[in-house]
Amino acid sequence: MAAMASYSFSSSLLPSSVSIDHGFVSFSPIFPSPSPSPHSNTLIVRCAFAAPARRSPPPPPFSSPFKKRQWKQGEFPGITQTSAPKKTPLKNVKKKLDRENHAKAWANTVTEALSDHIANKRWLPALEVFEMLREQPFYEPKEGTYMKLIVLLGRSGQPHRARQIFDIMFEERCEPTSELYTALIAAYCRNNLIDDAFSTLNLMKTLPGCQPDVYTYSTLIKACVDESRFELVESLYEEMAERLISPNTVTQNIVLSGYGKIGKYEQMEKVLLGMLESTTCRPDVWTMNIILGVFGNEGQIEMMERWYEKFRNFGIEPETRTFNILIGAYGKKRMYDKMCSVMEYMRKLQFPWTTSTYNNVIEAFADVGDATSMEYTFEQMRAEGMRADTKTFCCLINGYANAGLFHKVISSVKLAGKYEIPENTSFYNAVIYACAKAEDLMEMDRVFKRMKNKHRQPDIKTYSIMIEAYGKQGMNDRVHYVEIEKKQVIDDALITSH
């Protein structure tokens, strides 16, 4: 066991005093105990406006059927009012104006609250405010409001609530459009409800004013590509051709990316050549980035460079993301000279170095355990005011683990907490990997437990790291237990996707 393995990572997760257990020393925690944060309260304004009581005017002290004469003998016998017309008291006018202004202000406040919740992706408070708004007499249903709510609910994993909002729209006699139907289809697709999405598509075909368009089909095609159901992609292409709907560049880019991810390079090249010959869906910089990314991730540097030149000859100019893809590909192959050349070229063309640029360089040094170069790049990143993200710290943790500097893993995790870096699945995988490299299996178990307590779903990589670590120590019972859990996670993912 390595000497540095004496740093027990268990104390990094739960606060504990220094303790000695079988020669292992627990130091200050990697993950400090979270300080209690105030609960975010949603302010809901509830106002009731009661009409002020009306008082009947007092009866006149004297009533006479005759008009009082106001003229003298021989003057024009005109009849004048006994008094000026009764005026509404100023205090009543002020009350009425105050009520109207208060109502308008309240309406604006609720509408602004709804917009704020939608913008900040708070779906439950948004629905609560929306229900309150619908009860008001001044409420008028608007297509834009329903569109925003359906999109929000789809992105928040609430496709069935999105359908409820869609049904409410019908109840309020708000005319549906193809855009609203497409938004509902997107909500289903985002949550792997492919059958519901196709049912909605079939319904659209029966409505003359809501026929599917290229955006509708592109949404469905992306969902099918993400699930690698390319047989459905082909059927959708055929249906588009029957309806005389031409795929656009976005549609083709989606399919290109899908073929590239599963290694179907022949189909990918076929689609790409079709784009090059097309007059309606010409390749763009996104097409360029997809192709370069596919070959770069596979380590096919020559193919990546060849296609880069082809796109340039085609008149497509690279962007910052294009250069970041090249930097990442060169870094993984340890081609540091070319990596640095691309960075210098970016400076020359006045393309800014972004967080992704630095992450790619840090990752290149982290993979080989070059802690010195990694730290230098990170310090330069901070000196330029570039904000680090979760991937930055994942790379740092992996790099220090590969270099055997486990005490710096602890400091990196603490620094991530100081910067309030989100702890996602990749972050926990990096820490679990560091624990495995340090052969501190007790701490690895505790990180894994914390990961679950924080509702971060373990993935295949999580289980693979743990199985390998247990196997090296001959802990076959633990290997068997983790393999069972891994299989259950894979089966659950398959059921969810279908």
pLDDT tens digit string along 273-288?
A: 999 888 889 999 999 9
Residue 191 lies in a domain: no
Q: Which of 404, 422, 440 is the last residue of a domain?
A: 422
- Give yes or no: residues 417 and 435 share one domain: no
Reply yes or no on whether the pLDDT at 263 is more than 70.
yes
Say if CB 210 and CB 204 are below 8 A apart.
yes
Burial class (CB in 10 A: 0-12, 13-18, 19+), 397: buried
- Give yes or no: residues 261 and 288 share one domain: no
- Give yes or no: residues 370 and 324 share one domain: no
Residue 113: pLDDT band by 50, 70, 90 thresholds? confident
- Out of 2-6, 325-329, 465-469, pick the least confident: 2-6
pLDDT tens digit string along 119-159?
A: 888 999 999 988 888 887 777 878 888 999 999 999 999 99
Number of domains within the chain: 4
Beta strands in 83-196 (DSSP E): none
Residue 82 lies in a domain: no
Tokens of 388: 């680090």
Q: What is the mean pLDDT of residues 461-475?
A: 95
- Give yes or no: residues 418 and 432 share one domain: no
pLDDT at 92: 53
Sequence-separated (6 or more) residues with CB below 8 Å from residue 408:
371, 400
pLDDT at 325: 97
pLDDT at 174: 84
User: What is the average pLDDT value for the chain, to the nearest integer?
Assistant: 82
Tell me the C-alpha distance between 275 and 286, whole Å.
13
Residue type, 65: P
Residue 43: pLDDT band by 50, 70, 90 thresholds? very low
pLDDT tens digit string along 329-362?
A: 999 999 999 999 999 999 999 999 999 999 999 9
Residue 186 lies in a domain: no
Reply yes or no on whether the pLDDT at 236 is more than 80.
yes
Residue 267 lies in a domain: yes
Sequence-separated (6 or more) residues with CB below 8 Å from residue 198:
220
Q: In terms of Cα–Cα distance, which of 411, 388, 384 is closest to 400?
A: 411
Reply yes or no on whether the pLDDT at 44 is more than 50.
no
pLDDT at 487: 87
Could you give the percent of the chain with pLDDT greater than 90?
61
> How many C-beta atoms surround the C-beta of residue 144 within 10 A?
7
- Give yes or no: residues 396 and 449 share one domain: no
pLDDT at 87: 52
Residue 189 lies in a domain: no
Burial 399-420 (b: 16+ CB within 10 A, else e): bbbbbbbbebbbebbbebbeee
Q: Which domain holds residue 270?
A: 229-274
pLDDT at 381: 96
pLDDT at 77: 43
Q: What is the mean pLDDT of residues 305-321?
A: 95
- Give yes or no: residues 288 and 328 share one domain: yes
Q: Which of 422, 439, 470 is the last residue of a domain?
A: 422
pLDDT tens digit string along 216-230?
A: 999 999 999 998 899
The position carrying tokens 């975010």 is 40
pLDDT at 49: 33
pLDDT at 38: 45
pLDDT at 89: 55
- Give yes or no: residues 407 and 360 share one domain: yes
Residue 363 lies in a domain: yes
Say if CB 275 and CB 287 are below 8 A apart.
yes
Residue 154 lies in a domain: no
Q: Which of 391, 422, 453 is the last residue of a domain?
A: 422
